[in-house]
Amino acid sequence: MKKTVLFLCALAWALVSNAQTCERDSSILLTGAIVSPWYWTPDSPYIQTKPACINEFYSQSVTFNVPDTIENIPGVPLAIPINNLFIATSNAISNLPAGLTYSCDPPNCVFNKNTLGCVLLYGTPTGPVDTADLSIKVSISSPSFPVPVGPLDFPSIIAPDAHYYIEVRNTGECAVGTNDPSAQIASVKNIPNPFSDQTAISIVSNVSGDFNFEVFNLTGQRIHSQQVGLLTGPNQFTFDAGDLPNGAYYYTIGNAAGKVSRMMVIAKR
């Protein structure tokens, strides 16, 4: 009896330890991005989801910023108003690494317009080592149609060459190392943000070396690229928006080991 009680206590502790909450990225309300983390494109070949290691518990929150209208729906020539975006509570995400599943907040996986919906990817990967190419089947409820539109494959409905990847690595390879961009770059921010003409990119680097600074629009098109030399400690340089139109953009600072990504907003008067 005593052993049974101890076992149940240990099991309860394990469940509590692995209990996860889907954490919304509210910064996309400012930037106007439709999803966080951002997806992979050929112009921005960076996997922004966390890597998953075999036999190590994993969780990744994905935030959807649901608009009140949507366009570029296959077979629908005009933008349509929407009531909500929703996915099935099971089997809506294909190609998840073995051992992973998902849940939603709210639990019914219905994300109303002008709200942030959250999908939590979690579990313990069992292998093999691979790069999983996820596809999320989403449906749209619109007052313009008697039945939901979809399911549609995200992110390919945004751009045919867009992908949502998760890297599956060997056990122990998910810890931060010297080649991890988060170990090389301590912090990145731009001030002011939003800005009209120029903003200062401030970087605290843990290493010295050459890095690439790139700016992308929300379709993944690269619109600016330059090489910057960073010294250990605080660094700063100016980005000039030039003739770029108002809107949200994301920028990366990185090298062959990887990139760190942030959002910026141009708001010219």
| Residues 140 and 247 both lie in one domain | no
Q: Which of 169, 202, 218 is the last residue of a domain?
A: 169
In a domain, 101, yes or no: yes
The domain spanning residue 245 has which CATH number? Answer: 2.60.40.10
Report if residue 149 sits inside a domain. yes
Q: Is residue 135 part of a domain?
A: yes
List the chain residues with pLDDT less than 50: 1-19, 176-180
Question: How, if at all, do strands 52-53 and 164-169 pair?
Answer: parallel
Domain termination residue (choose one: 169, 192, 214): 169
Same domain, 116 and 198: no
Alpha-helical runs (H) found in the chain = 2-18, 28-31, 181-184
Using alpha carbons only, give the angle 231, 187, 225 rounded to the nearest 5 degrees.
70
Q: Are residues 61 and 140 in the same domain?
A: yes
Q: What is the DSSP letter of 163?
A: B
State whether 37 and 164 are in the same domain: yes
Q: What is the pLDDT of residue 31?
A: 66
Task: Give Cβ neighbours of residue 186 (< 8 Å, ≥ 6 apart).
Answer: 204, 205, 206
Give me the pLDDT at residue 111, please. Answer: 94
Residues 152 and 194 in one domain: no
Closest CA to 126 of 102, 101, 104: 101
DSSP string, 23-44: ---TTHHHH--SEESPPBBTTB
pLDDT at 76: 64
113: phi then psi, degrees, rounded to nearest 5: -60, 150
Bridge-partner residues for 233, per DSSP?
205
Sign of CA dihedral 170, 175, 179, 185: positive
CA distance 109 to 151: 14
Are 254 and 210 within 8 A, CB to CB?
A: no
Q: Which domain holds residue 153?
A: 20-169
Q: In the chain, how many domains are there?
A: 2
Residues 99 and 198 in one domain: no
Same domain (yes/no): 47, 154: yes
